[in-house]
Amino acid sequence: MITLIKLEYKTLIKGFFIVFIVVFPFTFLPVLFKDGDLIGRLFSRIPLSLLYTAVFSIMLVMAAVAHNWSNVKDRMRYFNKPAFISLNFEYILEGQGSLVEDLSPKLYGYYNDVAFQIDVYIDLDNNKRKEIEIIPLNYLDPKSVKALVQRLNKEFKVRSDRSSVLISIPLEENKLNDPSYLLKNLTLITHHINKYSYS
């Protein structure tokens, strides 16, 4: 978690100040409904409001760090398994510097001249549902997508739109200890992709 804080400290500071600016005015609401010298009460409230706002902002930022750390840690545990390591793909942490996107580690690389993005999907509502998501990044003629999807559906769960395909494989931890597990799947996928004219 310390590594994550060091990596994202600029974003965390930015988030702290944004939350601080938004929350600070609301801490004066109790003062507005009291009788007496309003200006005097507002000035006397400033130290307490600063303290309340700072504590709340820190708590919110730390909650975001904890959430992102959990997300990154879970995925990295899988990416350090032999099945992923054997791919020799590049690890990229997406969402860095963003206040609205979660940090999301993904793998990028080439296999049999096809570019891939690989991610681990974890269903937050059902933690037992975990999948490896494989997205070919090479261009595919929209006319070829339908035929490719029909063929891939015989071996995998596939989602697609006009020009892209997402292939899902159930994440089975025991299989991730086999260095050839994902290589075999990518070999089959690239065979079909090349057959259906990726270029």
Which residue, 17, 40, 73, sits at the end of a domain? Answer: 73
30/58 same-domain check: yes
Report d(CA 84, CA 118) in Å as an integer.
9
35/103 same-domain check: no
Look at strands 90-94 and 104-111 and give their pairing. antiparallel
Higher pLDDT, 17 or 37: 17
Is pLDDT of 199 > 50? no
Higher pLDDT, 69 or 86: 86
pLDDT at 168: 92
61/91 same-domain check: no
pLDDT at 182: 94
CB 142 within 8 A of CB 165: no
36/85 same-domain check: no
Which residue, 73, 92, 111, sits at the end of a domain? Answer: 73
111/157 same-domain check: yes
Q: What is the pTM of this model?
A: 0.71
Domain count, the chain: 2
Sign of torsion over alpha carbons 141, 147, 153, 158: positive
20/58 same-domain check: yes
pLDDT tens digits, residue range 168-191? 998 888 999 999 999 999 999 998
Which residue, 73, 92, 124, sits at the end of a domain? Answer: 73
Question: 105 lies in which domain range?
Answer: 80-195
110/54 same-domain check: no
89/181 same-domain check: yes
pLDDT tens digits, residue range 131-152? 999 999 887 777 778 888 888 8
Report d(CA 150, CA 96) in Å as an integer.
36
The mean-pLDDT minimum among 36-40, 106-110, 116-120, 137-141 falls in 36-40
Q: What is the percent of the chain with per-residue pLDDT over 70, rounded to a whole number?
A: 86
19/60 same-domain check: yes
Average pLDDT score, the chain: 83
19/53 same-domain check: yes
Read off the DSSP letter of residue 102: P
Encoded tokens for 69: 């750390």
